[in-house]
Amino acid sequence: MPRLLEWSPRFILDVCQTKVWTPAAKLLLLLLTNYQLPITHYLLPKIMIPRKRLDIAWSDLFFGIKGCFWQQNREEILNRFKSTKFFDDNNIVCFSVRSGFDLLLQVLALPKGSEILVSAITIRDMTRIIEHHGLVPVPIDLDMQTLSVKTESLESAINENTKAILVAHMFGSRMPLEALLSFAKRHKLLVIEDCAQAYIGYQYKGHPESDVSMFSFGPIKTDTALGGGILRFKERTLLEKVKTRQSGYPIQNRWQFLKRLGKYVILNSLSNPILFGILAAGCRLFGTSHDNLISQALRGFAGSDFFVRIRQQPSYPLLALLERRLKQFDSASIEQRIAVAHTIIELMPNIRLLGEKANNHSYWVFPIQVEQPDNLMRHLWQKGFDATRGASSLYVVKPPAHRHQWRPIEAQETMEKVLYLPVYPGVSVRDLKRLAYIVTHF
């Protein structure tokens, strides 16, 4: 048998394709035989800038882990929320925004077949919850330059079955709600404001005229606690009904939260471009998409037991971590994020940014519209930038079967060409310039 270093590249690749060799053995074999074998042809660059960094420090993760072992009284921690600038007597902490929205619909008990007007782009689980309650989501198209709902679409979509409006602020922007609230008041509709992507601290707690405002602290959100949602209610009676319903839920198992913390310790490590590059290289070597792997890892409520999983009360360690994050939130992080976004916008002025004309934008993510998003995405991977087509669980809501004419055309056409770029604090100006050059010259 020839010595290992004398094996031909073709022979090595043939060996690696057999089922006898484990993935680890294949990788070791390729690394040991870097002789006439262009390994870089099979591996992605060693350094890759991740699509996004989790907005959480290592000290926060270890605080959460400690809370799983040294618990205190849940009621005491809930009372301490009131000492944060964001929380007051009109708020409730839920297991997630999905949990809070589901609780709200349970309490409202709208007649079956009632319609809820929904921002054309939202996460799938929100419409799933609507349909679970026997209600019908009706999409309202968006102006993708301002990321605001189109007033004319509201006027056209309403009928005698319409009971509420669920409006989502997108990508870190915050749309003006005065016209929508005026419309809702005229037609006696409940307004539910989804602020999951628009959190900027106590500077915005939801529009005071919205009936319900919802804020998420899930894994990829600003100021994440790896879970938890806060809902603010305009009417105290509705809040109390939701509190009563939630009090009958089981409390999240703290060991399940510990398991979740462990997963995000690993994912937080991948914020390092070198480690992320190794992950991407390994995935490519073994025929797996790192894009799919990361997306699946970040899914919060996968599986058929969706409603069992969201119908829980938050555990003590989750509450403790969320309280800590609220108290320690620094608005300077938002200012830094805006500054980074403005830097790259100046570097590629002709690129269409979703929400480029939005009045209030904190750039939670950085989505652009391009003609060949898949090709540009793969090109950026090769250049060391983890662009993605799916930065979250967003999708375009389909109209009801009997109302095909309400297809949200602008939202649909835009999302078919969307690509999310890795733009956030921590990406150097040098890398931003390189990213802008690659995108504009593609």
The model's pTM is 0.87
User: pLDDT of 45-80, one tens digit each?
Assistant: 468 999 999 999 999 999 999 999 987 888 889 989
Whole-angstrom distance, CA of residue 63 vs CA of residue 318 = 10
Number of H helices, E strands in the chain: 19, 16
Specify the 3-state DSSP secondary structure of 173: strand
Q: Where are the alpha helices (DSSP H) in 7-119?
A: 9-16, 23-32, 39-42, 58-69, 74-80, 97-108
Q: Where are the alpha helices (DSSP H) in 216-331?
A: 236-246, 254-269, 273-285, 290-298, 306-310, 316-328
Can you give the pLDDT at residue 118?
96
Whole-angstrom distance, CA of residue 266 vs CA of residue 51 = 16
User: pLDDT of 252-288, one tens digit each?
Assistant: 999 999 999 999 999 999 899 999 888 888 888 888 8
Q: Domain spans of the chain?
A: 4-42
Can you give the pLDDT at residue 391?
56
Per-residue pLDDT of the chain (442 residues; tens, 9 = 90+): 333 333 344 444 444 444 444 555 455 444 444 434 444 444 444 689 999 999 999 999 999 999 999 878 888 899 899 888 899 899 999 999 999 999 999 999 999 999 999 999 999 999 999 999 999 999 999 999 999 999 888 988 999 999 999 999 999 999 999 999 999 999 999 999 999 999 999 999 999 999 999 999 999 999 999 999 999 999 999 999 999 999 999 999 999 999 999 999 999 998 999 998 888 888 888 888 888 888 887 776 766 789 999 999 999 999 999 999 999 999 999 999 999 999 999 999 999 999 999 989 999 999 999 999 999 999 999 999 999 997 568 999 999 887 777 889 999 999 999 999 999 999 999 999 999 999 999 9
The strands making up 367-369's β-sheet, listed across from edge to edge, are: 352-353, 367-369, 418-420
Cα 224 to the chain's mean position, in Å? 11
Tokens at residue 244, please?
Answer: 């009563």
Tokens at residue 209, please?
Answer: 């005229």
Helices 332-347, 429-440: crossing angle, 10 deg rounding: 40
Whole-angstrom distance, CA of residue 91 vs CA of residue 365 = 27
